[in-house]
Structure 1
Amino acid sequence: MSRIADADLMPLPHPVRVDAAVGSSIEEIVLDRAGVLERVRPHLASAAVSTEWIINEVPGMLELTMASVGAPAGLNAGLAMLMLARARLRAQGDPILQVAEPLHAQLAETDLGSGLPAGFFRSPYPVVYVELARPSGLEIHNRASGLHEVEGAYIGSYCIAPYSRQLEGIGRVEHLGLDPARETRVMELTITGSPVGKDNALDDASVDISLFIQDDDACLETLLERHIAYYRSGAVNAQPGFEIPEQSETDLAAAVIRQLAKVLLYLNLPDAEQAPLPERSQLEQRLRGLGPKKAARIKRRMATAYDRIVIGPNLDAGAAQDPPQDPTQNGAGTARSVRPHWRRGHFRRIRYGEQLSESRLGWIRPVLVNREEAFGAVKAKPYLMR
């Protein structure tokens, strides 16, 4: 039964929300109705093909996409890209990472750092959904429904062969400095905007951007800037039906991409904190052996419950701060104290080993100076694992 108008679903992350709103797998409904499901299914779990390849190469998918959103793939991919991203996540077992609030705040106050190699920009999963803490402080734009708060993103990692058709004809080789003869690592980001404050649980927004990486030693910041410039250029017009985004749209998307990049960098740290939160699995265990009335209550809760891995420290352990200092006296004898503020952090490359031939990622965490004054007497709620 459809629950599209159910307000309780609005704050849920996209992969959980669409299943609960529609009542079944959205790709099963749309793709099967269009007669392409069985042609698409073998490719959903493949690491050798990107979602853009599926749209452009699987018979019937390009026509379905053009009919629904007017573009095969790109910055405003809409329903088709969201549907396939959801399907590919399902094919991998639905891994969801939830960024803890303290980590989200710290990463927002962290710079990527200069000279970081693109090789550190990797996901630990072939496809994963990263759920950002909210309020996320990030937005994306839908031309029909306006601004949406960013709730997270699907991140897919694929490897395309040399001379792939995906590099042909749309200016990517020239604008991104790619070599068609080399294998290319593709990081596919499908950013989702929350429907909170909109009409229904499916009144969301999306932005799709693919990053093409051939040199793991290349500077990550330069790589991101080059891709952002490419999506702002007229080269993307070579994709049928694609509209060049406005400057404000790419500016909003660029901020999200950098935050997601920092989440992935954090996950590559040797001391990254992760804790499973098997909310749905625990409800499934409780369901066994229950009578009809109690089972019905558990099943209603299961519609909005989901398993995920929470990443990041709790507030007390994670919010670094300066040691307390006595106020200084100015010339008039009145006390002064430093206003609460973040001292920004950064990621950096740490070389080690024989002749410093190896490297690993390090993080100089941001510091919240004068944290007691910032939070006053309010004690932070701990992040509990249920």
Structure 2
Amino acid sequence: MERLQDPKILALPHPVRMDAALGHAFDTEVFANLGLLEDLRPSLTDESVTTEWLINALPGLNALALVHLGMPASVNMGTFILMLTRARLRAHGDPILAVTPALQALLAETDLVSGLPARFFRCPHPLAYIAFPRPSDLRVPNQVSGLHELEGVYVGTYSVPPHHALHHKDGRNRALQLDPDKPTRVVELVLTGSPVGKKNALDDASQDLVLFIQDEDECLSTLLERHLTYFQRPEIYEVPGMRPANPEEVQLVRPMVLALAKVLLYLNLADAEQARIDERDALERKYRRYGKLTAARRAKLEATYNRTLLGPNSVPDAGAGATLHARDEAKNRIRPHWKRGHFKRIRFGERLSQSRLQWIQPYLVHKAEVFATVKTRASAER
């Protein structure tokens, strides 16, 4: 199919690309054709139903999941979880949060310091897809097709009461220090890798990671490391379809999770910049005025999507202190460089019982010189 090779479709974020490449909602059609959709539909937006519990509780879905066990890496349990997560995002109205290149650059130069509480690792939507700008140095592994450039992460949040079935696995409880008598906030992450540079628009990659949070004041870095360690241990076999990750995979996943953590921390800021772009809605209104929706217009509509842009459009100018030496400017000139930033927790209120997050933003010293060099190089190449 020609659209599977279309560079514009290859570059789309996962939720949009799948619909555009196939021309239909593949995930929900699969469940509908198997007679599962009506039973599945109420759970798709239920914030107390985790994916693991859903697979085990819905008989038909459990049988379908078991079919994927033992299949090749290109069509395995990870693929099934990705398909189910895509269906859940659709049921939530497809909220997509797109990180601007400027914010990505700033966060890359921001330290995730210890002491930040896990409560700040939180998405404002029950389920959302966070799209990262490209190019990116982060890679999602696929056992068959190799490394794929990170394109985004599905982030789902679920509230689990005490004595839930998820806590019936003693090995996992011990490894993750979980108390079955306490409520749990479960954060499900599905990282997706782009098909750009691969065979076609369906040749992508995914990696799953689930975080169990019971102490919202626990250090976020400690929590992440404990979970990344757990996913390399034999206890992971207690969960059907899961296998211990090899150290190489964990080394790839760790920076992706840390990059996501910075985005979520940014979203927790009171002054986080967000701009809504309803591109698909605008195009749909335009086509309605024309009357009949032709195949060409439908294809263009499927490749267009609504999103919320996160972050500024440009990096900030250099702050105080980023100056040139007056003497011997050529010899002592401060070269362009980043002043690193960091997040910090600010306590306030009676007996400092409340806290908020503050971002000490990085800035690029001599930004104008950097971009002048880039412009000069680009002009020379033309």
If the length of structure 1 is used for normalisation, what is the TM-score? 0.90
| Partner residue in 1 for 2:309 | 310
Q: Could you tell me how far 1:60 is from its partner in structure 2?
A: 2.1
| Partner residue in 2 for 1:102 | 102
1:61 aligned counterpart, secondary structure = helix
Distance, in Å, in 2 between the alignment partners of 1:335 and 1:231 is 51
Question: Which has the higher mean CA deviation after the structures are superposed, 143-152 or 35-44?
Answer: 35-44
Alignment of 1:1-386 (within 5 A): 3-70=3-70, 77-169=77-169, 171-290=171-290, 298-316=297-315, 318=316, 321=319, 324-327=322-325, 329=327, 335-378=331-374
Gaps of 5+ in 2: 376-382
Q: Could you tell me how far 1:378 is from its partner in structure 2?
A: 4.5
Is this contact kept in 1: 2:317–2:365, CA < 8 A? no
Distance, in Å, in 2 between the alignment partners of 1:319 and 1:146 is 39
1:232-269 deviation line (CA, Å, top 9, x unaligned): 22211223343322111111111111111111110110
Question: Which has the higher mean CA deviation after the structures are superposed, 352-361 or 136-145?
Answer: 352-361
Q: Which amino acid letter does the alignment assign opposite residue 129 of structure 2? A: Y
Provide closer, same or farther for how the CA distance between residues 296 and 21 of structure 1 changes in structure 2, counting only shifts above 3 A: closer
Is this contact kept in 1: 2:138–2:150, CA < 8 A? yes
Distance, in Å, in 2 between the alignment partners of 1:215 and 1:103 is 29
RMSD of aligned Cα (Å):
2.3
Is this contact kept in 2: 1:162–1:183, CA < 8 A? yes
Is this contact kept in 2: 1:10–1:17, CA < 8 A? yes
Provide closer, same or farther for how the CA distance between residues 11 and 217 of structure 1 changes in structure 2, counting only shifts above 3 A: same
Q: Could you tell me how far 1:322 is from its partner in structure 2?
A: 5.2
Provide closer, same or farther for how the CA distance between residues 277 and 2 of structure 1 changes in structure 2, counting only shifts above 3 A: same
Distance, in Å, in 2 between the alignment partners of 1:254 and 1:370 is 31
Distance, in Å, in 2 between the alignment partners of 1:96 and 1:268 is 17
Is this contact kept in 2: 1:155–1:188, CA < 8 A? yes
Q: Which amino acid letter does the alignment assign opposite residue 326 of structure 1? A: L
Distance, in Å, in 2 between the alignment partners of 1:321 and 1:108 is 18
Question: Which has the higher mean CA deviation after the structures are superposed, 263-272 or 369-378?
Answer: 369-378
Distance, in Å, in 1 between the alignment partners of 2:167 and 2:97 is 31
1:215 aligned counterpart, secondary structure = coil
Distance, in Å, in 1 between the alignment partners of 2:70 and 2:165 is 21
1:63-94 deviation line (CA, Å, top 9, x unaligned): 212212449xxxx8421111111111111111
Q: Which amino acid letter does the alignment assign opposite residue 348 of structure 2? A: Y
Q: Which amino acid letter does the alignment assign opposite residue 307 of structure 1? A: N
Distance, in Å, in 2 between the alignment partners of 1:342 and 1:158 is 38
Is this contact kept in 1: 2:77–2:241, CA < 8 A? no
Is this contact kept in 1: 2:167–2:173, CA < 8 A? yes
2:49 aligned counterpart, secondary structure = coil
If the length of structure 2 is used for normalisation, what is the TM-score? 0.91
What is the total number of aligned residue pairs between the two structures?
Answer: 372
Is this contact kept in 2: 1:283–1:298, CA < 8 A? no
Distance, in Å, in 2 between the alignment partners of 1:322 and 1:211 is 40
Distance, in Å, in 1 between the alignment partners of 2:356 and 2:173 is 30
1:29 aligned counterpart, secondary structure = helix
Is this contact kept in 2: 1:320–1:365, CA < 8 A? no
Is this contact kept in 2: 1:127–1:156, CA < 8 A? yes
Q: Could you tell me how far 1:324 is from its partner in structure 2?
A: 4.8
Distance, in Å, in 2 between the alignment partners of 1:111 and 1:70 is 40
Gaps of 5+ in 1: 380-386
Provide closer, same or farther for how the CA distance between residues 77 and 266 of structure 1 changes in structure 2, counting only shifts above 3 A: farther
Question: Which has the higher mean CA deviation after the structures are superposed, 187-196 or 230-239?
Answer: 230-239
Q: Could you tell me how far 1:328 is from its partner in structure 2?
A: 5.9
Provide closer, same or farther for how the CA distance between residues 27 and 336 of structure 1 changes in structure 2, counting only shifts above 3 A: same
Instruction: Report the structure, 1 or 2, having the larger helix content.
Output: 2
